[in-house]
Amino acid sequence: MNSTRENIMSRIRRNLTAVDYATIEREKSLQQSNPESYEMLHKQFNDALEKVGGRVVRCTKKELPVILSQIFSKTDRVCVESTPYLHDISYEGFSLEGEPVQSEGGITTCDALIAETGTVILSGGENKKKVLSLITRTHCVIARPEQYVSTLEEYFARLQKSDVDWTHKTSSLTFITGTSRTADIEKILIKGMHGPRELIVVLVGG
């Protein structure tokens, strides 16, 4: 194994000896960083998410159980993440399922909402059940207004600043932009190919 690696590396080095490329100029940001107001971020996120087949619902923490019961009115077996925030909500109107594998609906929290593209970011970790965003038919994300970020660039900049060690702490990040989809048959758009057919972001508070 080591000799294969060495063979490859030495050939790479040998073939690149004459190369002299300056470092990449990264100081100039290619992204406009206008501090957007919360309402503008929300509108941008809402419009972008609707375009990709998702939707946003706003409510207070008090209204949350009713909203969730509406969302899952036709769904049996909803599995909920075990994070503290979701723990003290009284779920009503649908049956709770302990095992993600058996569930049709899933409720998770998220790490961030990217306004520009309508993207929801989830990370793996303790008490999380990220797989619910994959194997269910209806995925519901409980989010808070502070989680809005304008662009992906900004998200990573914040992440690197706030948690230098993030690369060790989480097993993976997943960016979700709308529903699962395919156009592999005659370019006809079909939603919910392998992943959820429905994505709802419930924005609590704000």
Partner 1 sequence: MHLNANKFKAHSKEKLHDKQLRKNLLNATYSALAARAAVVDEITNWEELRNRAYSVKRHVIGHLAQYLEEFERNAVSHGIKVLWAETADEANELVAQIARKRNARLVVKSKSMVTEEIGLNKYLEKQNIEVVETDLGEYIVQLNDEPPSHITAPALHLSRSQIGELFSSKLNTEYTDDPGELAGIARKILREKFFSAQMGISGANFLIADTGSIVIIENEGNARFVTTLPKTHIVITGIEKILPAISDLPLFLRLLPRSATGQLMTSYVSVIQSPRKSKDTDGPDEIIVILVDNNRSAILGDSVMREVLYCIRCGACSNICPVYQNVGGHAYGSVYTGPIGSILTPSLYPIEQATVLPFASSLCGSCSEICPVKINIHHLLLYQRSRVIEKRLSPLVERFIFSVWKTVMMSEFLYRLALRSSRIIARLWKRKGSLSVPVWSATRDFPLPANESFHEWWESQQIKNN
Interface residue with partner 1 among 36, 43, 52, 59 (CB under 8 A) is 52
Q: How far apart are CA 101 and CA 79, in angstroms?
A: 9
φ, ψ for residue 7 (rounded to 5)?
-55, -50
Q: CB–CB of 143/202 below 8 Å?
A: yes
Q: How far apart are CA 153 and CA 135, in angstroms?
A: 29
Q: CB–CB of 144/203 below 8 Å?
A: yes
Interface residue with partner 1 among 88, 126, 161, 162 (CB under 8 A) is 126
Contact call for residue 59 and partner 1 (CB under 8 A) = no
Contact call for residue 12 and partner 1 (CB under 8 A) = yes
Distance of CA 101 to the CA centre of its chain: 20
Q: Which one, 48 or 71, has the nearer CB to partner 1?
A: 48
Contact call for residue 129 and partner 1 (CB under 8 A) = yes
Q: Which one, 93 or 100, has the nearer CB to partner 1?
A: 100
Shortest distance, CB of residue 117 to partner 1, whole angstroms? 4
Q: 104-143 in b/e burial notation, b at 16+ Cβ within 10 A?
A: bbbbbbbbbbbbbbbbbbbbeeeebbbbbbbbbebbbbbb
Contact call for residue 119 and partner 1 (CB under 8 A) = yes
Contact call for residue 184 and partner 1 (CB under 8 A) = yes
Interface residue with partner 1 among 38, 48, 85, 90 (CB under 8 A) is 48
Contact call for residue 26 and partner 1 (CB under 8 A) = yes
Shortest distance, CB of residue 185 to partner 1, whole angstroms? 4
Task: Select the span of 19-27, 33-41, 56-64, 70-78 touching partner 1 (CB under 8 A).
Answer: 19-27
